[in-house]
Structure 1
Amino acid sequence: MRIAELAGQRVAIWGFGREGRAAIHAVRKRLPDLSLALYCSATEASEAQAFDTTLRVYPHEPDAVALSAYDIVIKSPGISAYKPAVVIAQAQGTRFTSGTALWFAESPQARVVAVTGTKGKSTTAALLAHLARALGVRTALAGNIGLPLLELLDQQAELWAIELSSFQTGEAGPLELGVITSLYEEHLDWHGSRERYVADKLKLVEAAHRLLVHGEQASLLEKTAHHAHRLLFGQPEGWHVADGFIRRGASDVFALDRLVVPGVHNALNACAALAALETMGYDAVAAASALASFRPLPHRLQPLGEHDGLQWFNDSISTTPEATLAALESLHGREVTVIVGGHDRGLDWAHFVDAVTSRTALRIITQGANGPRIAVALRASKSAVPLGDVDTLADAIEMARIVTPEGGTVLLSPGAPSFDQFHDYAERGRRFAGMIGFDESQISGIAGMGIA
């Protein structure tokens, strides 16, 4: 659906975050006289009315009756497509679209690499943009990473590095290359079940002319085996990690100790970006040296520095137990205290418990809404790993100061969303830094978004 198709229709926008504002602006630019309704929270109503005085603002969530009054609803990605009100309104004829879908419809000629995955998608998309720009390629970095695509409507780039969440993969139009970095349980509250989450994530497979997937994930290989133009990273014949290097086949290309972002999982993200760049026809070997100048993304195993005789890492983006395990593996060989827990959305922590039970040089502090459940599972495993169970992140930081040996490392890698105590993972990461004694304002945003 193109924006022009909204003309003469009854249209509502649902959500007044950055995606919603981008949708309002884009529609107004193309169809200035179209009547628009907006559904937002009560706290956003005044700002929304000031943003566009012609909007009909409804400061509440619409029910099925309200949604059924519209021909088309432009929905923000965080609003589940499986809400009963959405399902009922669809059955009664209301069509739902999004900023992502509208951008793809308006930009059929764009050369797009769309990156998704449970973890690694933001870093991989940012790495791809960084490497392409190092070759002098005019590249856009946008999408779920923090810049709605509609904010770049009508702008031109030679290459588009677009991050898509599992909420957005089904909204992508035909694209040149899809990249899937990993696939674990996540966002079960939005999707309703693990099976639906996997199915939604893999909708990118059908949109992509060529597909690049993690060659070390057996389940991902099985689920994408039917794709006619599937490529792999993480395998010896292509871009992979071995013997302290990022390698292309048998050739050493980039030493891991020069990589600014720590951990094998980040080295594999770099392999995905290099493989994607090569697949799009660029000289990835020539670009690889630029990995040394890549600026790590905030809240993603971000080294904050030394304070109180301890090293502190902010991995607030970690919202699955698997992500926490990857962070711990990246800090292998250190004395580590890891802070886990947050909003409880029912993920299974059994694999995490099994993986950490026999570890040494590790202390675990559970906190947040699902902290007690994680603590119970750890105690039931008879683990010898020292365990503390507290209520809040602030309590966890104070305990970490006490139990972590001098010179040791404290890692915030919650393995859970932030909504029990904070607005989002970014606020959680900033507050974590501030509680320690670092300057929250220095926990900056993602560099390189937009077109450069």
Structure 2
Amino acid sequence: MRIADLAGRRIAVWGFGREGRAVIRALRARLPRQALTLLCGDAEIESADAFDTTIEVIGGEPDAVALGRFDVVVKSPGISAYKPALLAAAQQGTHFTSGTALWFAENPGARVIGITGTKGKSTTSALIAHLSRSLGVRTALAGNIGLPLLELLDQQADLWVVELSSFQTGEAGPLELGVITSLYEEHLDWHGSRERYVADKLRLADASRQLLVNALQPVLLERTQQHPHRLLFGQPEGWHVADGFIRRGTQAVFPVDGLAAPGLHNALNACSALAALSAVGMDALAAAPALAHFRPLPHRLQRLGEHDGFHWVNDSISTTPLATLAALESLHGRTVTVLVGGHDRGLDWTPFVDAMRSTPAHAIVCMGGNGARIEMALRNAGVDCTIVRVADLAAAVIEAKACTPKGGVILLSPGAPSFDQFKDYAERGRCFAERAGFDAMTILGIEGMGIV
């Protein structure tokens, strides 16, 4: 469905975040006289009225009857496609689409690499764009990484690098290349079950002429083996990490310690980016030296520096227990106090607890909505390190400073979303930086967004 197909129909935009605002702007640009209704939260009504004085604004959570008033509803990604009211309205004939789907309908000939994964998708997307630009290719970086595609409507690029969340994978296509970096348990509140989450993630494969997946993930290998043009990274025959180098086969290409982004998982992200360039016919070997100049994304194992005798690392983007384990692995050999916990989505913390039982951190500070559950699991397992539970991030920082020796590392890697205390992970990361004694205004956004 293209934007022109919406003309003269009863249209609602559901959600007033950045995606929703991008949809409204795009519809106003293409269909200036089209009547629009906005469905948003009660607290957003005043700002929505100021944003577009001609739009009808309805606050509160819409039910099936409210949604059924419309021929088409353009919903934001964070609104679950499995809400009962949405499913009921769809059954009665309301069509649901998104800004992502509209952009792809408007740009069927675009050359697109789409990237998804439980972890690594943002860094991999930014790496692909960075490396492509180092070869002189006019490249767009957009999507779930923080810039809605419709904000770039009518702009041109030679290559589109589009990050896609599990909420968006079914809305994309066609793709010259799809990349799946990893697959763990995540977003169960949106998808309803782990199996549905996996299935939704893997919808990217259906839209991809070529599919690049992580060879180190058995579930990915099994679930994508039927794709006719599947490629792999992370195996010795291709792009992989071994003996301190990023390698293509037996050829040592780039030293891992030359990466500004720490950790084996980031070296593997670099492999996926180089493999993606190769897959679309670019000279990955010529692009590889540009890895030295890639600036790590904020809130992803971001080294804030030293203050009060401690080294501070902001990994606020961590929203799964396995991501927290990856963060701890990147600091192996250091004395680390880790801050964990946040909004409880019912994820299984057993792998984290088992790892802490065998190789514990110096101290673990549990906080937030699921802090008590994590603390209980750690204590019941007999984890042999200091374990503290506090209410919020501010108290967690105070406790971390009290139980960490000078020269040690204080790591924020919550393994859970931020919504119990903060608007998003970025606000949580900035609060951590401020509590640690740093100027949060120096934590800049992601470099290279848009078209360069």
TM-score between the two structures when normalised by the length of structure 2: 0.99
CA contact (8 A) 2:166 2:197 kept: yes
Paired residues for 1:12-27 under 5 Å: 12-27=12-27
CA contact (8 A) 2:338 2:361 kept: no
**Alpha-carbon distance between aligned partners in 1 of 2:58 and 2:355, rounded to the nearest angstrom:** 48
Paired residues for 1:251-270 under 5 Å: 251-270=251-270
Q: Which range moves more in the overlay, 380-389 or 73-82?
A: 380-389
Q: CA deviation at 1:414?
A: 0.2
**Alpha-carbon distance between aligned partners in 2 of 1:19 and 1:59, rounded to the nearest angstrom:** 17
Alignment match, 2:301? 301
What is the DSSP-based 3-state SS (H/G/I as helix, E as strand, rest coil) of the residue aligned with 1:395? helix
Paired residues for 1:259-338 under 5 Å: 259-338=259-338
CA contact (8 A) 2:142 2:163 kept: yes
Give the partner amino acid of 2:402.
I
**Cα deviations by residue, 1:102-152 (Å, 9 ceiling, x for unpaired):** 000000111100000000000000000000011111000000000000001
**Alpha-carbon distance between aligned partners in 1 of 2:389 and 2:213, rounded to the nearest angstrom:** 38
Alignment match, 2:35? 35
Q: CA deviation at 1:51?
A: 1.6
Is residue 2:94 matched to residue 1:101?
no
Give the partner amino acid of 1:85.
A
Q: CA deviation at 1:21?
A: 0.7
**Alpha-carbon distance between aligned partners in 2 of 1:408 and 1:290, rounded to the nearest angstrom:** 32
**Alpha-carbon distance between aligned partners in 2 of 1:424 and 1:404, rounded to the nearest angstrom:** 27
**Alpha-carbon distance between aligned partners in 2 of 1:303 and 1:48, rounded to the nearest angstrom:** 37
User: Unaligned regions of 5+ residues in structure 2, if any?
Assistant: none
What is the DSSP-based 3-state SS (H/G/I as helix, E as strand, rest coil) of the residue aligned with 1:206? helix
CA contact (8 A) 1:359 1:385 kept: no
Q: CA deviation at 1:43?
A: 2.2
**Cα deviations by residue, 1:44-96 (Å, 9 ceiling, x for unpaired):** 21221222111011122211100001000000000001111101100110000
**Cα deviations by residue, 1:164-197 (Å, 9 ceiling, x for unpaired):** 0000001112111000000000000011110110
Q: CA deviation at 1:391?
A: 1.3
**Alpha-carbon distance between aligned partners in 2 of 1:354 and 1:368, rounded to the nearest angstrom:** 21
**Alpha-carbon distance between aligned partners in 2 of 1:89 and 1:185, rounded to the nearest angstrom:** 29
Q: CA deviation at 1:27?
A: 0.9
**Alpha-carbon distance between aligned partners in 1 of 2:361 and 2:449, rounded to the nearest angstrom:** 38
**Alpha-carbon distance between aligned partners in 2 of 1:362 and 1:173, rounded to the nearest angstrom:** 46
Paired residues for 1:205-244 under 5 Å: 205-244=205-244
Is residue 2:364 matched to residue 1:364?
yes
What is the DSSP-based 3-state SS (H/G/I as helix, E as strand, rest coil) of the residue aligned with 1:108? coil
Alignment match, 2:414? 414
**Alpha-carbon distance between aligned partners in 1 of 2:61 and 2:361, rounded to the nearest angstrom:** 48
Q: CA deviation at 1:362?
A: 2.4
Give the partner amino acid of 1:320.
T
Alignment match, 2:341? 341
Alignment match, 2:247? 247
User: Unaligned regions of 5+ residues in structure 1, if any?
Assistant: none
Runs of 4+ in 1 over 2 A off after TM superposition: none
Is residue 2:359 matched to residue 1:373?
no
**Alpha-carbon distance between aligned partners in 2 of 1:84 and 1:160, rounded to the nearest angstrom:** 34
Q: Work out the percentage of aligned pairs sharing the same amino acid.
A: 70
Q: CA deviation at 1:8?
A: 1.6
TM-score between the two structures when normalised by the length of structure 1: 0.99
Query: Cα distance 1:146–1:63, how it changes in 2: closer, same or farther (>3 A)?
Result: same
Is residue 2:188 matched to residue 1:188?
yes
CA contact (8 A) 1:63 1:85 kept: yes
Alignment match, 2:436? 436
Q: CA deviation at 1:385?
A: 2.2
**Alpha-carbon distance between aligned partners in 1 of 2:200 and 2:80, rounded to the nearest angstrom:** 12
CA contact (8 A) 2:360 2:383 kept: no
Is residue 2:134 matched to residue 1:124?
no
What is the DSSP-based 3-state SS (H/G/I as helix, E as strand, rest coil) of the residue aligned with 2:325? helix
**Alpha-carbon distance between aligned partners in 2 of 1:428 and 1:383, rounded to the nearest angstrom:** 27
Paired residues for 1:50-89 under 5 Å: 50-89=50-89
**Alpha-carbon distance between aligned partners in 2 of 1:406 and 1:57, rounded to the nearest angstrom:** 54
Q: CA deviation at 1:360?
A: 4.8
What is the DSSP-based 3-state SS (H/G/I as helix, E as strand, rest coil) of the residue aligned with 1:19? helix
Q: CA deviation at 1:361?
A: 5.3
CA contact (8 A) 2:178 2:205 kept: yes
**Alpha-carbon distance between aligned partners in 1 of 2:360 and 2:36, rounded to the nearest angstrom:** 59
**Alpha-carbon distance between aligned partners in 2 of 1:278 and 1:312, rounded to the nearest angstrom:** 36
**Alpha-carbon distance between aligned partners in 2 of 1:178 and 1:152, rounded to the nearest angstrom:** 21
**Alpha-carbon distance between aligned partners in 2 of 1:420 and 1:203, rounded to the nearest angstrom:** 30
What is the DSSP-based 3-state SS (H/G/I as helix, E as strand, rest coil) of the residue aligned with 2:358? coil
CA contact (8 A) 1:71 1:93 kept: yes
Is residue 2:423 matched to residue 1:423?
yes
What is the DSSP-based 3-state SS (H/G/I as helix, E as strand, rest coil) of the residue aligned with 1:292? helix
What is the DSSP-based 3-state SS (H/G/I as helix, E as strand, rest coil) of the residue aligned with 1:295? coil
Give the partner amino acid of 2:404.
T
Query: Cα distance 1:410–1:10, how it changes in 2: closer, same or farther (>3 A)?
Result: same
Alignment match, 2:353? 353
**Alpha-carbon distance between aligned partners in 2 of 1:360 and 1:119, rounded to the nearest angstrom:** 23
**Alpha-carbon distance between aligned partners in 1 of 2:201 and 2:239, rounded to the nearest angstrom:** 23
**Alpha-carbon distance between aligned partners in 1 of 2:184 and 2:230, rounded to the nearest angstrom:** 20
CA contact (8 A) 1:211 1:227 kept: yes
**Cα deviations by residue, 1:389-416 (Å, 9 ceiling, x for unpaired):** 1111111101110111110101000000
Q: Which range moves more in the overlay, 408-417 or 42-51?
A: 42-51
